[in-house]
Structure 1
Amino acid sequence: MSQYTLKISEERAKEMPMVDLAFEILKAANTPFYYRDLMQEIAKIKGISDEEVMEVIAQLYTEINIDGRFACVGNNLWGLKRWYPIDKQDDLASGSRPRIINDDDDEDIDDELFEEEQDEDFLSDDEDFDSVDDDVFDEDEELDEELDDLDEDLGEEEDFDEELDEIDEDFDSVDD
């Protein structure tokens, strides 16, 4: 699988965090990797034993999963998010394999553009959250009203029970 050339020194690769090394490997290979293969490449570069791999495999998976630079393109196949057009992100979840955009041309991507996209996504998510929050609030009010009605009914039921007890006592006193 090592048919790529890292653009960083071996010494630096050994010192850098595994999630950053995963990014560099995918960037250099310009092709998605299965997670296990990616982990094996990292282990080979960093000189990690099989036992050490088993200790960090889940943590690296979590880091890749939450890192905004990576995208799972199906069947535990991981690539870089910037390889895939944003409007095609839904296709990633459906299992179809999207076309990879060549990574060599975008070495000078400005991080501000990425941050702006993140801010726009955040705002639209907030708006969606507000509408959901309003719906939940309305449902809470309806439930509160229903509980109040039940409490009133329960109170009436207690009054009815007291009346029955009084009738029973009256009935018992007539029998004596």
Structure 2
Amino acid sequence: MELKQFDGQSKKELAMVDVAHAILEQTGEVTNYNDLLVQVAEYLELSDNELETEMIQFYTDLNIDGRFISLGSNRWGLRGWYPIDSIDEEITHDNDEEDEKPRRKDRQGFDDVDVEELDDEEEEDGVDYGERVAVDEHGVMVDDEDEEDLGEYKEDLEDLGDEDEEDENIVGLTVVDDDDVLDDEDEEDE
């Protein structure tokens, strides 16, 4: 294969990705990864050992390089060939071929008994959606049963906020100022 854009350059200095780009540009066809790899290796005259060590990096470079696009099924092309809107169509086109077989429609209809059973279940729930609900001052739904349950605990709940946050008469505890602790640490460091 002859690539005119690399005339005068040493093949050992060329990147496999650049050669792959030139090959795809010249052929203008979507190419299988393995075929592209063989064409690049032939152009660069790589030995089997060199090809084996460079193969993984080449695949990584194809994925990273924005000039290439994977079209699924290990097929590669140039991103410039596709308008942005048609990329998804090309990638999912293979799935469309599988769907070309006409499918038989299921001729079974609804069973009247099943529909009646579903209607009965909905009536048994007893939930009527769309009714107004009582809401307290905090925006929480209030149910009459809830207020009855809180009756015996209501006094305890009201007393919770009345206590002072700090109780100064706690035996055995002293308040230590942060500045005192920092001063003590500074003295220890010296």
- The structure with the largest helix share of the pair is 1
TM-score normalized by the length of structure 2: 0.45
